[in-house]
Amino acid sequence: MISQILKKVVDGVKPTFDKGGKLSFLHSLFDAVETLLFVPDTVTKKGAHIRDAVDLKRSLIVVVLALVPALLFGMYNTGLQHFRAVGDVAAEASIWGCWWYGFVRMLPLILVSYVVGLGIEVAFAQRRGHEVTEGYFVTGMLIPLIMPIDVPLWMVALAVAFSVIIGKEVFGGSGMNIFNPALLARAFVFFAYTPFISGDKVWIRGAGKGGEYIDGFSGATPLTQLGENAEQMLANANVWDWIVGTIPGSIGETSVIAIAIGAVIMLATGVASWRIMLSVVAGGWLTGLLFNAIGASPVMDMPAYYHLLLGGFAFGAVFMATDPVTAAQTNVGKVVVGFLIGVIAVLIRVVNPGYPEGMMLAILFMNAMAPLVDHVVVGFNVRRRLSGKLTKGRA
């Protein structure tokens, strides 16, 4: 009923935006809204990641849906961590209160991300005369989820502008980018405004502004604690908290359960590749085991599966490494790239004292390597077919 009315309205104003119409300069914006509301009868054709006969917006909406559990939990956890920090036991107990607190703080981040990102996308689409590319739907949701709650909004805006313009538009828009745009935005903040995205002050709302804490409360993430004082952190390890996600961290990355629900949604609909997810986890876990075998320091001795639960490992494996644009395209390539992401992430965590977390850098690095891996895999396949199968067939 509503959809029919909506359709009538949209079809009614359509001529205004078509070529020659009064508002034809806003054509790409209209097109974006129309295809968002109704499944278009056209199929997306351009872009390195197109492997399906549906419009790209449909598959991206599945990813956004898969992000919802992590988003909702992130909001709840924001409130929970804040009330814990100030010692407000009554407020901490109220799930709804915690969630609402986080929701109010989270909303500006999401709005800034979408307004700036889509604004730039629309501007570029207008100038170049093509439709607004849909890739930003997912990116716009991912960026707030991988930021600390207290990051200043103008930094988010700047990071979004950098990642959309330098990371995506200069390469030719959605589907042509080398690096995952959301991670690029985070890397921008990480290197440009390091104090606002690392340390023990930023992960809890209000901490950076001299908030009053109860004694003995630390806002450091488990990985930061691991880097600073491994023995103490391992002695206080609470695996169940890490799985549920009631720990300080970037907004969406803490809860392994919420991320796992997202993973199930994406795998069931076939939007994400199980090969990548599995090989990232395998790479991280086996590297952890390898360090266990060396065992030269308390950090190396940490049980290997801890790595999979801490920091951005789960979030990166499920939502970042599987990005169809920047991941490898061949099946063998997916496994190789995924595995190396896991290896490098754990390697950075354990060996490099400068960075407590390695997932972001590992994924960005392997984004750059993915085309090379694909090239080798394809070349190998070509050689194998030329030498073996074909001659056998002839004989």
Partner 1 sequence: MGTTKSKNWQYFLGPLSKDNPVIVQVLGICSALAVTAQLKPAFVMTLSVVVVTAFANLIMSLLRKGVPGRIRIIVQLVVIAFLVILVDQVLKAFVYDVSKQLSVYVGLIITNCILMGRVEAFALSNKPWPALVDGAANGVGYGIILLMLGFVRELLGSGSLWGVRVIPDEWYIQNGGFYANNGLMMLPPMALVLVGIIIWVHRSSKSNKDLIEK
Q: Which is nearer to partner 1, 189 or 325 (CB)?
A: 189
Q: Is the Cβ–Cβ distance between 247 and 222 less than 8 Å?
A: yes
Backbone phi, psi, residue 82, to 5°: -65, -50
Q: Which is nearer to partner 1, 193 or 305 (CB)?
A: 193
CB of 321 to partner 1, least distance (A): 23
CB of 77 to partner 1, least distance (A): 24
Residue 279: helix, strand or coil by DSSP? helix
CB of 127 to partner 1, least distance (A): 10
Q: Which residues bind partner 1 (CB under 8 A)?
A: 152, 154-155, 166, 170, 188, 191-196, 208
CA distances, 30 to each of 16, 17, 172, 213, 361 (Å): 10, 7, 21, 49, 37
Beta-carbon contacts of 174 under 8 Å, excluding residues fewer than 6 positions away, are 47, 56, 133, 134, 135, 136, 168, 325
Q: Which is nearer to partner 1, 171 or 274 (CB)?
A: 171
Token reading at 358: 């390695």
CB of 154 to partner 1, least distance (A): 7
Q: Which is nearer to partner 1, 167 or 284 (CB)?
A: 167
Query: Angle, nearest 10°, between helix axes 95-128 and 136-145?
Result: 140
- Sign for the pseudo-dihedral over CA of 223, 229, 230, 231: negative
Distance, CA of 3 to CA of 275 (rounded, Å): 38
CB of 159 to partner 1, least distance (A): 10
CB of 339 to partner 1, least distance (A): 27
Q: Which is nearer to partner 1, 76 or 188 (CB)?
A: 188
197 Rama class: left (phi>0) / alpha (psi -120 to 50) / beta: alpha
Q: Which amino acid is at 254?
A: T
Q: Which is nearer to partner 1, 208 or 288 (CB)?
A: 208
Distance, CA of 179 to CA of 363 (rounded, Å): 9
Distance, CA of 32 to CA of 131 (rounded, Å): 7
Q: Is the Cβ–Cβ distance between 145 and 70 less than 8 Å?
A: yes
CB of 368 to partner 1, least distance (A): 13
Q: Which is nearer to partner 1, 54 or 192 (CB)?
A: 192
Q: Which is nearer to partner 1, 196 or 319 (CB)?
A: 196
Q: Which amino acid is at 86?
A: V
CB of 226 to partner 1, least distance (A): 24
Q: CA 334 from chain center: how many Å?
A: 17
